[in-house]
């Protein structure tokens, strides 16, 4: 290949590369100069008004606000007993079953009394014999006293008769005690309920043998319940006897009230928490032992304070803000907050200043709020579900 031919080819490729670069630059300029396809949509997406349904808004009013400590645990009956056998023997009858109501002193079961009746008869016979021996010893001592006074017997003979009298009297007292013991054992073959309540467990069946202290039945009194709940050690100093507690129980639509009745003086091993016992009255018996409950312990309470939903508060640079609707326009207002806790409508924050009673505010930060935007409130038809606020498009 000659040098001239090589130069011509190099020049041809160079010119082709220059043409391609120029064409690419022209295309890029056209793309930059052309309006973005979504520009119109972006412009029109800026809302000229915000539409809300009533549930999106909240009217500020005075009410009760509580700072709470959440608790959870299982309910148990405050008064419950295990009915045990006081004598050994074969169970003849069990007269109640689980769930049945019993009165104090009601017969629950019977243990075979034959052996115990025989012991009573034996003790009664021994008592009669002891009484006879005492009568004889008494007569002998009295006779010897007369003889001693007349000098017919010695002092030693009289002392012997007197000792026999003392022994006979002691034997009589012992026989009386044995009879009482045997009668008590016979009475214990009839098992009675120590209190009013409900049978929660039946542990024996007729025909079974039971020993002394063998468990027969369990009886619970549901008129007063107790919630046993752990409290972290860093919160326990805020808890005191008599504090109000609102208790929510699985399956129960309404809350029930309780009070702190006891506080354990020691921490639980392993958890480093302290058990708190909340007393709950249960006159209708609707609460049952073993139900799981969540509770709210009131640590601080304020009456008639202005409060707003916690979701309405925004924090920026350490300052709290909320959005209010004033003359149909969205206004951003700085507020001073106070107590945080639970109000009638859920989690709430006290407003010390910055908003007036009766003001209408936006319940939650929806992310599209702009100060100065016109507000429209859409009246929702009955049965229509609440939805987030939407921007109304300008025309």
Q: What is the pLDDT of residues 235-269, one digit of tens each?
A: 898 899 999 898 999 888 889 999 999 999 998 88
Q: What is the mean pLDDT of the chain?
A: 85
Q: How far is CA 373 from CA 47, 215, 329, 348, in A?
A: 8, 75, 6, 26
Please state, as a whole number, how many other Cβ atoms lie within 10 Å of the Cβ of residue 204. 18
Predicted pLDDT of residue 215: 96
pTM: 0.63
Of 1.10.287.470, 3.40.50.2300, 1.10.3720.10, 3.30.360.10, which CATH number belongs to 87-202? 1.10.287.470
pLDDT in tens, 258-299: 999 999 999 888 778 999 999 999 999 899 999 999 998 988
Predicted pLDDT of residue 343: 85
Distance CA 252, CA 247 (A): 10
Q: Where are the domains of the chain?
A: 54-65+303-377, 70-77+221-302, 87-202
Does position 330 have pLDDT exceeding 90, yes or no? no
Assigned CATH class of 54-65+303-377: mainly beta
pLDDT tier at 41, thresholds 50, 70, 90? very low
Assigned CATH class of 70-77+221-302: mainly beta
Does position 39 have pLDDT exceeding 60, yes or no? no
Burial (CB count within 10 angstroms: exposed 0-12, middle 13-18, buried 19+), residue 17: exposed
Percent of the chain with pLDDT over 90: 50
- Read off the pLDDT of each residue in 376-382 and give the average, rounded to a whole number: 70
pLDDT in tens, 84-103: 999 999 999 999 999 999 99
Q: How far is CA 105 from CA 182, 239, 341, in A?
A: 21, 40, 49
Does position 384 have pLDDT exceeding 80, yes or no? no
Predicted pLDDT of residue 94: 97
């Amino acid at each position: 290949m000659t040098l001239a031919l090589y130069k011509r080819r190099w020049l041809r490729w160079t010119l082709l590369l220059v043409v391609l670069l120029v064409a690419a630059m022209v295309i890029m300029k056209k793309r930059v100069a052309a309006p973005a396809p979504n520009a119109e949509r972006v412009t029109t997406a800026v809302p000229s008004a915000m539409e809300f349904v009533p549930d999106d808004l909240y009217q500020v009013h005075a009410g009760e606000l509580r700072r709470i400590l959440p608790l959870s645990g299982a309910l148990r009956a405050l008064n419950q007993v295990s009915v045990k056998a006081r004598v050994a023997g074969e169970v003849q009858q069990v007269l109640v079953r689980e769930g049945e109501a019993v009165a104090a002193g009601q017969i629950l079961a019977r243990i075979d009394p034959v052996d115990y009746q025989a012991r009573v008869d034996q003790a009664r016979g021994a008592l009669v014999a002891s009484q006879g021996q005492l009568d004889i010893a008494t007569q002998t001592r009295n006779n010897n006293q007369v003889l001693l006074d007349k000098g017919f017997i010695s002092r030693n003979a009289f002392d012997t008769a007197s000792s026999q009298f003392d022994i006979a009297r002691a034997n009589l007292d012992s026989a009386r005690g044995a009879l009482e013991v045997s009668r008590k054992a016979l009475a214990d073959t009839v098992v009675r309920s120590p209190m009013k309540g409900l049978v929660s467990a039946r542990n024996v069946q007729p025909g079974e043998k039971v020993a002394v202290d063998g468990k027969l039945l369990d009886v619970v009194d549901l008129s007063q319940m107790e919630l046993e709940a752990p409290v972290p050690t860093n919160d326990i100093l805020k808890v005191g006897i008599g504090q109000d507690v609102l208790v929510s129980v699985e399956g129960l639509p309404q809350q029930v009230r309780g009070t702190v009745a006891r506080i354990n003086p020691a921490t639980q091993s392993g958890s480093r928490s302290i058990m708190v016992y909340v007393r709950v009255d249960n006159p209708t018996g609707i609460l049952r032992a073993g139900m799981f409950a969540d509770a709210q312990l009131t640590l601080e309470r304020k009456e008639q304070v202005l409060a707003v939903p916690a979701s309405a508060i925004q924090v920026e640079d350490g300052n709290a803000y909320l959005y209010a609707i004033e003359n149909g326009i969205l206004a951003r207002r700085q507020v001073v907050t106070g107590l945080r806790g639970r109000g009638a409508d859920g989690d709430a924050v006290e407003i010390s200043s910055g908003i007036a009673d009766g003001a209408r505010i936006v319940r939650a930060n929806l992310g599209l709020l702009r100060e100065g935007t016109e507000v429209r409130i859409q009246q929702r038809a009955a049965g229509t579900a609440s939805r987030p606020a939407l921007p109304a498009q300008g025309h």
